[in-house]
Amino acid sequence: MKQKKKAEKIIFESEKDVPLMPISLGPMLWNRTGAWRNIRPEINLTECIQCGICWKFCPDVAIAIENEFPVIDYDYCKGCGICAEECPTKCIAMVEERK
Amino acid sequence: MKSEAQKKERTMKLSLPTEELMSSGNLACQGCGATLAMRYVLKALGQKTALCIPACCWSVIDGPFPYSTLDVPIFHCAFETAASSAAGLKAGLEMVGDTETTVVAWAGDGGTFDIGIQALSGAAERNDDILYICYDNEAYMNTGIQRSSATPYGAWTTTTPVKHFKNRPKKDIDAIMAAHRIPYQATASIGYPEDLYKKTKKAKEIKGTRFMHIYAPCPSGWKSRPEDTIKLARMAVQNCVFPLYEVEFGEKYTLNIKPREKKPIDDYLKLQGRFHHLTEEHIKMIQEEVDRNWGRLLRRVDAC
Ligand SMILES: Cc1ncc(C[n+]2csc(CCOP(=O)(O)OP(=O)(O)O)c2C)c(N)n1
Ligand code: SF4
Ligand code: SF4
Ligand code: SF4
Ligand SMILES: [Mg+2]
């Protein structure tokens, strides 16, 4: 997905800025869930058949399609391994996270 | 190895629209099925949607004030009130002339099978114009894996420990909803997103109470590997533990996916830690229960 929205935290300068009703004012993109990851998916694009299955099954919307190929957004990928498990050509490897 | 030129030629054919109304950064566990359910449903319903979400994992996944991981409005309501809140919201919107917005009650199995069933039954009996969606992870997950009436026979939960595992079958909520003769209801699974998408689109266009029951594996509560989430959802359809079908007006049953060869349940149970204590005999009992349910469903489908 194109992350066109702001990935910033919302800071209220004073009490007056806080809405009377607790409504949401922005997305969760400041929360970079990539930090949760222990293993990291890496796509070998030469074996990729561009089926889009990894994109379809990513629960974290962390796979974008760019120039007709899947691209993983490591800021948000939680490392669940679903993409690697479901890839029909097994061209996604789960490798130890480099911390 | 393919050359650059060969690679450029192919375009990706995606089976679902690319628009996302759910974004990254949400608070779900790794490999959460409930999160995928929301992603697919919102692809089908589009921007003109309002959700009522009672206490459940999804009230946390969405994020704390003042943030939301979804691009549609959510009303966080009390645990037992998903259906009545949605019915009220729908009535309010109609009062101000909005007939376009799809009002959705989005609740877990606890909020649907147990505590919310009275409000749901009331709304269905009145045929209130809402789409009620239950994502079923088969226990009270948000509060730490307690049994619900959607928990299947044999499962471990914190309130049904190994020595006293759940000894009652899963409640047949779909039969209960069919008894209300609502215009449309369907079961769906995150393992079959195209089918889920199609049925959500269909539900959106129908007036009156619509009910969808979505199977959503939960690695944290099922003690399964996060990467097995899709596989488990697919297996549950292939072994007829969770068949995919639609019911119109409580009468017309349509089977959406008929497994070519009905698989035994053993492999499915093995992938989930919550069933590891079961003996051969228990597994045989569960298999017989699955076979009975499947036979009953086929008879209903055939009768149409
Ligand atoms: C009236 C009331 N009782 C109990 C609770 C505590 N509670 C919050 S979420 C939850 C479990 C919800 O289970 P389910 O509906 O299956 O959703 P899940 O968490 O599994 O997604 C419970 C018991 C509450 N919020 N309100
Ligand atoms: S590992 Fe999981 S979160 Fe990361 S890209 Fe793959 S499916 Fe998405
Ligand atoms: S699932 Fe595998 S083959 Fe398909 S697009 Fe993703 S990486 Fe490529
Ligand atoms: S406990 Fe289960 S349903 Fe809840 S967020 Fe985690 S994986 Fe999803
Ligand atoms: Mg639940």
Q: State the CATH number of the domain containing residue B255.
A: 3.40.50.970
Does the predicted TM-score (pTM) go above 0.95?
yes
Averaged pLDDT, B67-83: 97
* Closest-CA residue to A73 (of B145, B23, B41, B190): B23
**Percent of chain B topping pLDDT 90:** 96
Domain boundaries, chain A: 40-99
**Is there a domain that residue B189 lies in?**
yes
User: Is a pLDDT exceeding 80 seen at residue B173?
Assistant: yes
- Ligand closest to B225 (CA) is 4
Amino acid A5: pLDDT:
80
- Protein residue with least CA distance to atom 5, ligand 4: B28
Nearest Cα of chain B lies from the Cα of A14 at a distance, in angstroms, of: 15
* Closest-CA residue to A43 (of A7, A17, A77, A14): A77
Number of domains in chain B: 1
Rounded Cα distance between B39 and B86, Å, is: 20
Q: Is B225 on the interface with A (CB under 8 A)?
A: yes
* Closest-CA residue to B171 (of B112, B220, B214): B112
Amino acid B9: pLDDT:
65
Q: Do B193 and A78 touch (CB under 8 A)?
A: no
Nearest Cα of chain A lies from the Cα of B48 at a distance, in angstroms, of: 17
Ligand 2 close to Cβ of residue A60 (< 6 A): yes
- Protein residue with least CA distance to atom 2, ligand 2: A80
Burial code (b: 16+ CB inside 10 Å, e: under 16) for B68-98 equals bbbebebbebebbbbbbbbbbbbeebeeeee
Look up residue B235 and give its amino acid. Answer: M
Averaged pLDDT, B145-155: 98
Give B222-280 pLDDT, tens digit per residue. Answer: 999 999 999 999 999 999 999 999 999 999 999 999 999 999 999 999 999 999 999 99
Amino acid A98: pLDDT:
79
Mark the residues whose beta carbon lies below 5 A from ion ligand 5.
B 108-109, 137, 141
Amino acid B7: pLDDT:
53
Amino acid B3: pLDDT:
54
- Protein residue with least CA distance to atom 24, ligand 1: B79
**Percent of chain B topping pLDDT 70:** 97
Fold for domain A40-99?
Alpha-Beta Plaits (3.30.70)
Amino acid B4: pLDDT:
57
Amino acid B286: pLDDT:
98
Instruction: Assess contact for B243 and B297: CB atoms under 8 A.
Output: yes
Rounded Cα distance between B205 and B12, Å, is: 29
User: Is a pLDDT exceeding 70 seen at residue B212?
Assistant: yes
**Is pLDDT larger for residue B167 or for residue A99?**
B167
Rounded Cα distance between B119 and B163, Å, is: 34
At B116, list the tokens. 């919310």
Residue ranges making up the domain that contains B156: 27-302
Q: Which stretch of A95-99, B56-60, B118-122, B192-196 has the lowest confidence by average pLDDT?
A: A95-99
**Is there a domain that residue B12 lies in?**
no
Taken as a whole, chain A contains a residue count of: 99
Amino acid A2: pLDDT:
45
**Is there a domain that residue B238 lies in?**
yes
Residue spans of chain A under pLDDT 50: 1-3
Q: For chain B, give the mean pLDDT.
A: 96
